[in-house]
Amino acid sequence: MFNKMVLTKYYLLTIFICLGCLGFAQNSSSDEQESIQKDINELVNKSQQELANYNYFKAKKKLDQALYLAQKINKQKNIGVIYAIKGRLELLLEEEANAIKSLKKAIEIQRSIKDNANIGTTYKIFGDLYLMKKDYYLALDAYTAAKDKFVKERLYEALAETLLKEGKVYEILKNYKKSKDLIEESLALANKYGYPSIESEGLINDARVYSKLGNDKKALELALVGANIAKVNSFTTIRNNAYVIISDIYYKLEEHKTSRNYLNKHLKLSDSIRALTQINGSRSEKTQFRLNQQIEKNNEIVLQLEKAEVDISLGTLTSILSVALITILSLLTLSLYKNNNIRIKSNNLLQKKNKELVLAKEKAELASKTKANFLSTVTHELRTPLYAVTGLSNMLLDENPKPEQIQHLKSLKFSGDYLLTFINDILQINKIEANKVDIEQEAFNLEKKIDNIILALNNSALSNNVNIHFEYDENLPKNFIADQIKISQILINLLGNSIKFTKNGDIWIRVYEINKNNRAKNNYTLRFEIEDNGIGISQEKQDHMFESFSQGSIQINRKYGGTGLGLSIVKGLIDILKGQVYVKSELEEGTTFYFEIPMEFTDVIQESKNSNIYFKGNPDNIDLTKVRVLIVEDNKINQMITKKILTKMNLNCDIVDNGEDAVEIVKVNHYDIVLMDIHMPGISGVEATKRIRVFNDALTIFALTAVTIEDKMEEFKEAGFTDVISKPFKQELFEKKLYTALAENPVL
């Protein structure tokens, strides 16, 4: 009987609830929706204020209330934002698992509604999470994803913050050059758009990096400016960090009294911050919060049960609830105790893993150095036989071969040239990855530079029946200051790529300015477009096309050739120039590559320090029969090839196979030119040249070498070489340098 009465009441209660819900749904209006939306915004804003005041648990409660309301009216954008803020809050509370769960939920929602701006913010919080966990490379991946979204949405403040975070990670990884570049890029945005908190924090971080690079004077100047900005704007925490860095720099400069004064300022300010902080994250406070939270939930359960079961004996219900509550609290206390023990064990395990990571990092650095040395050695060993392959191929082609041999020799020459290009591409990628590529700024005529590139590649285009169209914005200046060599490499790679994959079509090159309204007086951001109507690229391949050795497919590689390194080099060079590169393509519709780089306008063009000024007179006016050349080379095949080339030019030459003999023979004989190999038994070509310069300062000495010229140029200059010729060399280049040297030092 009792059970029937209870069931009857339950059914009636259910019917009333359903009718009430139906009535509520019917009576809800747009005014009510707007009211709930207003409450959501207010709760989110208050949670942000609580976060700023270190009231983490109050902030969490308000976020939970906002999330309930947002789910009630199905506001997906609000739900995504709230989950992202919850992730950041849980990160501060060291609840890593919950933080990851909240952030993944946020990204899932934001992707579904294409909320790109907030996706970027969520990725940034993910980066902060990985940074706290010391997963530095995962943090960099997250920050990169965030930057991409911020750039597309033009959210420059968030972009500046993310660049600053990236700089911190690279500082931790001891890549101080990369760290400095990122921090200074962040500072440029902060200055441009007026973000004082980012500017002050960026200056302080930049100061720390300069100090680690050994430039304490510059570091002190930056830190003092950053501290002053923080003081003026009441950025207490940033100013507190600045005092520590300033104290350390003064200590390194042995100004111990000033160092101690700033340290005292830091300690005093730290006490003030600690007094303002309402929660410091201690286990006791967190435990108390969770206990209070559980008690509140239990109280709500008690109220609901009291309303639903009004006929049940109050005494019996109270006893049952008391037992349940005590049981729950006991289990919760036991769980917290176990969690505490697990946290201690986890911390010990983390310390062990950190030591292993440090060891792994040292091994990785050693492996990187070993790789670089290996590539340098292999390059030299490959270039030496390549000299023989290309040299013999050219010689045989010039010696009237049989008709059936000509195609074989051309194929051999093509294979040698292709292998040399492949070696150069690998070296370029290795230098980019090792951050060994320096920017060489110089003034040049951009329009003329692109015209020359088109002229150089026009024969390849014509062989594919391709027309190249060049459109240069008529309102754009002609002369800029930038690294014209790297810009040329980028354009040659992209234009060559378009020519290779376009048959019987057209290619358009366009250059114009973007961001006109926001630029400084002489600073331009130029966009370069290379569009073709060739075979196009699938969406799947576009996602990986800037990776090394990435190609469209095996079939495309076999049909069109290529190493798969060109676009990876393009991406690396554009990153070095602080630019961005994008691609837009559809299969059978064509492809458009466009990249944006900052450049500075100039009125004056000086002679480029990278340009080679060769002899422009008449070679017939130089009597080569009187010219004596000494070949210093230990490889017999290379001796034969070099002598053959010189003999065809009517030059007289002698050969020695080591550096010691070269020094002695130059002492007793007159030579006009010395072709000096670098790697030889006994003393090297560098050492031999140094010894010759002791008694002969005017002799023309060319370094004829298979090493990477860029890496050794300073060493060659210090040794006293007149110029450098890289093996395998082209005869035309050798002749130009020879005639230039003979014109400057006439043969008597």
Residue 71 belongs to domain with CATH number = 1.25.40.10
Name the least confident of 32-36, 103-107, 274-278, 668-672. Answer: 274-278
pLDDT digits (tens, 9 = 90+) for 606-643: 544 444 444 445 566 677 778 899 999 888 888 888 88
Inside any domain, residue 610: no
Is residue 230 over pLDDT 50? yes
Average pLDDT of the segment spanning 387-412: 75
Higher pLDDT pick, 502 / 50: 502
- Closest Cα to residue 464, out of 532, 416, 524, 408? 532
pLDDT at residue 313, rounded to an integer: 56
**Residues 337, 516: Cα–Cα separation, whole Å:** 62
pLDDT at residue 508, rounded to an integer: 95
- Number of neighbouring beta carbons within 10 Å of residue 133: 15
Higher pLDDT pick, 304 / 449: 449
Of 238, 261, 279, which closes a domain? 279
Domain limits at 711?
619-744
Domain identity same for 664 and 562: no
Residue 597 host element (H or E): strand 590-601
Inside any domain, residue 580: yes
Is residue 12 over pLDDT 70? no
- Closest Cα to residue 204, out of 251, 171, 156? 171
pLDDT band, residue 709 (cuts 50/70/90): low
Average pLDDT of the segment spanning 587-615: 72
Identify whether the C-beta of residue 707 lies closer than 8 Å to the C-beta of residue 424: no
Is residue 26 over pLDDT 50? no
Domain identity same for 227 and 89: yes
pLDDT band, residue 747 (cuts 50/70/90): low
**Residues 508, 530: Cα–Cα separation, whole Å:** 6
Does the CA dihedral 119-120-121-127 come out positive or negative? positive
Q: Which of 154-163, 363-372, 426-435 has the highest mean pLDDT?
A: 154-163
Residue 516 belongs to domain with CATH number = 3.30.565.10
Domain identity same for 486 and 423: no
pLDDT at residue 506, rounded to an integer: 94
- Number of neighbouring beta carbons within 10 Å of residue 455: 10
pLDDT at residue 31, rounded to an integer: 73
pLDDT at residue 563, rounded to an integer: 54
Cα-based angle 419, 425, 429 (whole degrees, multiple of 5): 150
pLDDT band, residue 384 (cuts 50/70/90): low
Task: Report the amino acid identity of residue 38.
Answer: K
- Closest Cα to residue 572, out of 443, 450, 368, 434? 434
**Residues 651, 632: Cα–Cα separation, whole Å:** 15
pLDDT digits (tens, 9 = 90+) for 468-482: 999 999 989 999 999
Higher pLDDT pick, 611 / 518: 518
Is residue 29 over pLDDT 70? no
Average pLDDT of the segment spanning 316-333: 79
Domain identity same for 82 and 118: yes
Mean pLDDT of the chain: 78
Find all residues with CB under 8 Å of 221, minimum gap 6, and list them.
Answer: 207
Domain identity same for 451 and 576: yes
**Residues 391, 638: Cα–Cα separation, whole Å:** 9
Find all residues with CB under 8 Å of 253, minimum gap 6, and list them.
Answer: 216, 220
Domain identity same for 270 and 140: yes
Domain identity same for 592 and 467: yes
Residue 79 host element (H or E): helix 76-92
- Number of neighbouring beta carbons within 10 Å of residue 675: 22
ω into 746 cis (within 30 of 0): no
Inside any domain, residue 188: yes
Q: In total, how many domains does the chain have?
A: 4
| Residue 442, token pair as written in the block | 């110089």
Domain identity same for 458 and 488: yes
Higher pLDDT pick, 238 / 288: 238
Domain identity same for 572 and 630: no
Identify whether the C-beta of residue 207 lies closer than 8 Å to the C-beta of residue 249: yes
Is residue 419 over pLDDT 80? no
Domain identity same for 594 and 554: yes
Average pLDDT of the segment spanning 293-304: 54
The 3-state secondary structure of 641-655, one letter per residue: HHHHHHHHCCCEEEE
Is residue 745 over pLDDT 90? no
Domain identity same for 429 and 451: no
- Closest Cα to residue 464, out of 410, 509, 414, 500? 500
pLDDT at residue 510, rounded to an integer: 95
Inside any domain, residue 447: yes
Average pLDDT of the segment spanning 528-542: 86
- Number of neighbouring beta carbons within 10 Å of residue 52: 9
Find all residues with CB under 8 Å of 204, minimum gap 6, and list them.
Answer: 222, 223, 226, 227, 230, 238, 241, 242, 245
Is residue 574 over pLDDT 70? yes
Of 237, 255, 279, which closes a domain? 279
pLDDT at residue 346, rounded to an integer: 81
Name the least confident of 27-31, 193-197, 343-347, 374-378. Answer: 27-31
Q: What phi and psi, each to the nearest 5 degrees, are found at residue 402?
A: -65, 150
Domain identity same for 484 and 576: yes
Q: How far apart are the first and last CA of the chain?
A: 132
DSSP, collapsed to helix, strand or coil, labels residue 199 as helix
Identify whether the C-beta of residue 532 lies closer than 8 Å to the C-beta of residue 506: yes
Where residue 77 falls (left for φ over 0; alpha for ψ -120 to 50; beta otherwise) is alpha
pLDDT band, residue 726 (cuts 50/70/90): confident
pLDDT band, residue 274 (cuts 50/70/90): low
Inside any domain, residue 326: no
Inside any domain, residue 672: yes
pLDDT at residue 434, rounded to an integer: 66
**In percent, how much of the chain has pLDDT > 90?**
15
Q: What phi and psi, each to the nearest 5 degrees, are found at residue 543?
A: -70, -20
pLDDT band, residue 18 (cuts 50/70/90): very low
Does the CA dihedral 256-258-261-262 come out positive or negative? negative
Name the least confident of 43-57, 228-242, 440-454. Answer: 43-57
**Residues 721, 724: Cα–Cα separation, whole Å:** 7
Identify whether the C-beta of residue 508 lies closer than 8 Å to the C-beta of residue 531: yes
Higher pLDDT pick, 319 / 582: 582
pLDDT at residue 548, rounded to an integer: 57
Residue 735 belongs to domain with CATH number = 3.40.50.2300
Find all residues with CB under 8 Å of 208, minimum gap 6, and list them.
Answer: 171, 219, 223, 245
Is residue 712 over pLDDT 70? no
Of 601, 630, 652, which closes a domain? 601
pLDDT band, residue 306 (cuts 50/70/90): low
Average pLDDT of the segment spanning 256-281: 72
Question: What's 238's DSSP letter?
Answer: H
Where residue 348 falls (left for φ over 0; alpha for ψ -120 to 50; beta otherwise) is alpha
Inside any domain, residue 242: yes
pLDDT band, residue 550 (cuts 50/70/90): low
Higher pLDDT pick, 608 / 192: 192
Cα-based angle 175, 179, 185 (whole degrees, multiple of 5): 155
User: Please, is 549 exposed, middle or buried when counting C-beta atoms within 10 Å of its C-beta (0-12, 13-18, 19+)?
Assistant: exposed
User: Which residues are bridge partners to 471 per DSSP?
Assistant: 510
Inside any domain, residue 361: no
Is residue 411 over pLDDT 70? yes
**Residues 45, 154: Cα–Cα separation, whole Å:** 23
Higher pLDDT pick, 461 / 408: 461
**Residues 77, 70: Cα–Cα separation, whole Å:** 9
- Closest Cα to residue 680, out of 710, 636, 724, 722? 636
